[in-house]
Amino acid sequence: MIIHQVDQLEFWSFEQLEEHCVHGILTRKGGVSPSPWDSLNFGGNIGDSRQNIIENRRRVFSAINRPVESIFDSWQVHGTGMIITDKPRNLDEIHQKADIIATRDRKITLFMRFADCTPILLFDPEHAAICMVHAGWRGTLAGAVKAAVAGMREGFSSRPEKIIAGIGPSIGPDHYRVGNEVIQAAEISFGSSADEFLLQKNGGYYFDLWAANEFLLRQAGVEFIERSNICTACDLTRWYSHRAENGKTGRFGAFLAIR
Ligand SMILES: [Zn+2]
């Protein structure tokens, strides 16, 4: 990935998306939120003030030189629902629920929030369409990225083999120990392939969100896949990690727009 720094802000971009999309996975640096959300928090309803989040948002949009009013973000619910939008979200209105958001409108900036779940960015260069996916274990095992590719085929006539995908920082297989609920769900979703994503060590099982999402993307016909392989729980100076910080943390942002 490519690390960008603008003032105190830092965001990471995918090499193969760089020429096509204004995009990035923001770190937690450079915002105004106090501990334990320090500092560039975008999570609402976790204790941080609305004013802090609005100021954090203003800083990011100023840094990327796009109007805040271009934002389209959603209420993320760990599902596979998709919204294709042709207009930004009215900032006075409540978010619609969706874990997959997409557009072909150059004026729109797609935006989501993360703290261990996997951000997946998709771009179709043939139809100039973008899509962002929020996939934790539930979304991953429910096939959110496949639903995203199917939605792009239907909504934009995208051909999967032309889509460029980036799998961003999330909790990695080194840190993501899982229990029976995830193990059983993985076996139902992946059958005999589940072993590839459930690594046995230290007397337990560790789930590999990156490999699972890459597998699903390849199944959907996507060939150009860049993986960051960055674990959020390994570097708490940069990322928020719900697991490593026992739920007392913020949410970092990810943005995506057509260049
Ligand atoms: Zn780690």
Q: What gap in Å lies between CA 244 and CA 259, rounded to an integer?
A: 35
Residue 237 binned pLDDT confidence (cut-offs 50, 70, 90) = very high
Query: Which residue segment(s) compose the domain that 37 sits in?
Result: 2-170+225-258
CA distances from 7 to 55, 63, 66, 154, 198 (A): 15, 8, 16, 40, 40
Asked whether residue 176 is domain-assigned, the answer is: no
184 occurs within a structural domain:
no
CATH assignment of the domain containing 69: 3.60.140.10
What does the pLDDT read at residue 26? 98
For residue 105, how far is its CA from the centre of ligand 1 (angstroms)?
36
C-alpha 117 – ligand 1 centre gap (Å): 13
The pair of three-digit structure tokens given for residue 73, joined into one six-digit string? 């973000």
- The average pLDDT across 198-203 equals 95
42, part of any domain:
yes
Q: What percent of the chain is predicted at pLDDT more than 70?
A: 100
**Phi-psi category of residue 33: left, alpha or beta, with phi > 0 → left and psi -120 to 50 → alpha:** beta
Tally the domains of the chain: 1
pLDDT of res. 63:
97
Q: Classify residue 74: in a domain, yes or no.
A: yes
- What's the pLDDT at 29? 98
**In a domain? residue 182:** no
Q: Angle formed by the axes of helices 180-190 and 209-219, to 10°?
A: 20
Distance (angstroms) between ligand 1 centre and the Cα of 51 equals 32
Q: What is the pLDDT of residue 99?
A: 98
Q: How many Å lie between the centroid of ligand 1 and the Cα of residue 215?
A: 21
Q: Is residue 201 part of a domain?
A: no
User: In the prediction, which pLDDT does 28 show?
Assistant: 98
Q: What is the mean pLDDT of residues 92-106?
A: 96
> Which are the contacts of 247, defined by CB distance < 8 A and separation ≥ 6?
none
Work out the pLDDT band at 64, boundaries 50, 70, 90: very high
**Nearest alpha-carbon partner for 163 in 199, 132, 134, 196:** 132
CA-closest candidate to residue 193, choices 174, 168, 219, 227: 219
Question: For residue 79, is it within any domain?
Answer: yes
- The mean pLDDT value of the chain amounts to 97
CA 170 to centroid of ligand 1, rounded, Å: 9
Q: Does residue 206 lie within any of the structural domains? A: no
